[in-house]
Amino acid sequence: VAHPDRCFQFASGSSLEYCPEETYEFLINAAKDKNIFLEKNLSSMTNPGQFVPEFWKMVPDGLNTVIGCDAHSVNELRFKN
């Protein structure tokens, strides 16, 4: 599983300026070719600048995806809303 949102977390301004569309295509094609699941990370979805809607709009239907959360300990799972 890979959550590609993390590669965008240091972007400033438009995510397409920071990370060109070709990079999105590369990540998507690599996941498809290697049968890697892409994770929509709930933690990223709640932090501005980490969840990139432009990327997820490019992910084709049928590509393996999961929704997950960063919980590096049991306590983090308990307190997630």
- Provide the whole-model pTM: 0.71
d(Cα 15, Cα 21) in Å, to the nearest integer? 9
pLDDT of res. 13? 53
Question: Average pLDDT of 34-39?
Answer: 92
Higher pLDDT, residue 45 or 6: 45
Tell me what percent of the residues of the chain surpass a pLDDT of 90: 25
d(Cα 74, Cα 48) in Å, to the nearest integer? 25
Mean pLDDT value across the chain: 77
Kindly state the tokens that stand for 81.
């809303």
